[in-house]
Structure 1
């Protein structure tokens, strides 16, 4: 089994909560790519995270968290700017994010910071999310994506609060499609699909992404499960029934679980094999939704076996 190279942001989520009738914010380590790396490691995979962390106290905490989670941090570069904060509010279990910090501490990785040999040696390369909205990170991601060797996995992880107008949406769609075209797997949420392609039907986005050249697309549908599409066909995989209290990190856990399956079994050969991997990923996400979210909610195989003994 090889390793996964995960590129992207790490930041601090401040999660809205009520305590004794007053509103407070609970600090949690997050950022979709960091969540993915931790999720892969918790599931027993070899995860290596590449990105930038602040030299401040919050950056130190994130660096220690990565090490404690078993994520290799040789690709981390430390930067002298304050850690970006994501204020997280909820409607039910679903989070909404507002970001604070300029320049963003998470998007300062440059192409010169990359270990191209380590990227070429990876079994899986993941990138995506909000770091791709900023330079120099997007140039670093393009340089890594151009390296031959690993399976390429992409998640746009659209955050509407960072897209002020239609031009910004168009730019993100164009950027994302440049990665979709050569991806072995694209994972996106139904909300992402609506922003990028304007349709509530996940099959519309999946078909567009496959036409661009992607080899498989998974569109997560929240409690309804996920739409899975490959050139030979598509299907919907239902989600397990859970008592969701916090969906923060759920989509990232789907991504982590799919990467862990790519590490152990390689790229699935057909639609039923992809559906089986997605079924596993949805069981991981279901458990994450039953916990207070972010990277700390990512489960181990033992925890999955306890929660889903029949799976």
Structure 2
């Protein structure tokens, strides 16, 4: 199915950690969509990154990292603001994010930066995450999403720190449901579901998203695995047992693995096909959880085989 176009934020994570008895912050390249782009590429897929980077040293480092990873950057836009920082703290292996930088460097992609021909030629187009909460990126994403042809995949990737009150949650829910309505695949976390629909379970959230219009829904549930639902039926799949050190990027790696399978095999014909893809994605996420960092933790196919054996 050719290449994937990934629209969304790229930024720098400052990861809280200890060193010689001191609290320090380790710099890592991140952003959920960037993690997805890297994940797909490391699994052998062809990706073009469509987003905006600050025109500073950190932006230069992200651009160089994308090129070194093999991600297409001809659709990249540089903007004259500092690169956004995400300070990341942890409760066990689970990260919490606080964002710094106004306006956000990642949200300055404009509709005129979107080439319809590039989108139409893609096998898969992905968007979602916090960049959608700001203009002009939201208008750019709507333009890309409306181009016919590619399989559409979406991840709301909710960040509660950016939702100060009930009105903000309502606005985000209405926004993401606009994209759900025409999505071929929606991937979200159980935590996303709880925020968006007031404590919703994975099953109830998936049922609602299907009714909105999505063709398939995958809800990741951390160490419990993932719930997959289609109009044909649903299934809960267990996660592999791992010694998790950092869950940063785990959900993004699930999306990356699913996109890679869509590029390779197309949209599954039935629930069992989706179950196979989700089992593969959970194996990818398990390996990511055993490594520190987000984008840099994304594994290659050879690393997966070394860790888990032959994967179906």
| TM-score class, shorter | over 0.9
Q: How does 1:128-277 map to 2 (within 5 A)?
A: 128-277=128-277
Alignment-derived partner of residue 291 in structure 1: 291
Structure 2 Cα separation of the partners of residues 64 and 163 of structure 1 = 32
TM-score normalised by the chain length of structure 1? 0.99
Q: Answer yes or no: is the 8 Å Cα contact 1:107–1:135 preserved in 2.
A: yes
Shift in Å, 1:310: 4.9
Distance 2:90 2:63 in 1: 27
The aligned residue for residue 28 of structure 2 is 28
Q: Is the 8 A contact 1:157 1:188 kept in 2?
A: yes
CA deviation after TM superposition for structure 1 residue 57, in Å? 0.3
Which secondary structure state, in structure 2, belongs to the residue aligned with residue 14 of structure 1?
A: strand
- Aligned partner of residue 227 in structure 2, secondary structure: strand
Counterparts of 1:213 and 1:79 in 2: how far apart (Å)? Answer: 35
Unmatched 5+ stretches in structure 1? none
CA distance in 1, matches of 2:189, 2:87: 21
Other-structure match for 1:85: 85
Alignment partners' CA distance in 1, 2:166 and 2:309 = 47
Secondary structure at the aligned position of 1:9 is classed as: coil
Q: Distance in 1 between matches of 2:262 and 2:165?
A: 36
Aligned-partner SS, 1:5: strand
The 8 Å contact of residues 199 and 205 in structure 1, kept in 2 or not, is answered as no
Once residues 150 and 88 of structure 1 are traced to their aligned partners in structure 2, the CA distance between those partners, rounded to angstroms, is 34
Shift of 1:265: 0.4
Give the aligned partner of residue 3 of structure 1: 3
Q: Secondary structure at the match of 1:219?
A: strand
Distance between the aligned counterparts of 2:293 and 2:226, measured in 1?
20
Query: Counterparts of 1:162 and 1:80 in 2: how far apart (Å)?
Result: 23
Deviation at 1:278, TM superposition (A): 0.2
Aligned-partner SS, 1:73: coil
Q: Which whole-Å CA distance do the structure 2 matches of 1:301 and 1:236 have between them?
A: 24
Shift of 1:309: 1.2
Q: CA deviation at 1:199?
A: 2.7
| Per-residue deviation, 1:275 | 0.6
1:291-310 matched pairs, under 5 angstroms: 291-310=291-310
How far residue 59 of structure 1 moved from its aligned partner, in angstroms, is: 0.2
Counterpart position of 1:39: 39
Report SS of the residue matched to 1:81.
coil
Give unmatched runs, 5+ long, in structure 2: none
Tell me the distance in 2 between the aligned counterparts of 1:115 and 1:10.
Answer: 19
Number of equivalenced pairs: 311
Quote the Cα distance in structure 2 between the aligned partners of 1:262 and 1:310.
19
Q: Answer yes or no: is the 8 Å Cα contact 1:219–1:227 preserved in 2.
A: yes
- Distance 1:250-1:201 versus aligned 2 partners, 3 A rule: same
TM-score, length-scaled by structure 2 = 0.99
Distance 1:106 1:256 in 2: 20
Q: Runs of at least 4 residues of structure 1 off by over 4 A?
A: none
* Partner Cα distance (2:14, 2:106) in 1: 16
Per the alignment, residue 107 of structure 1 pairs with: 107
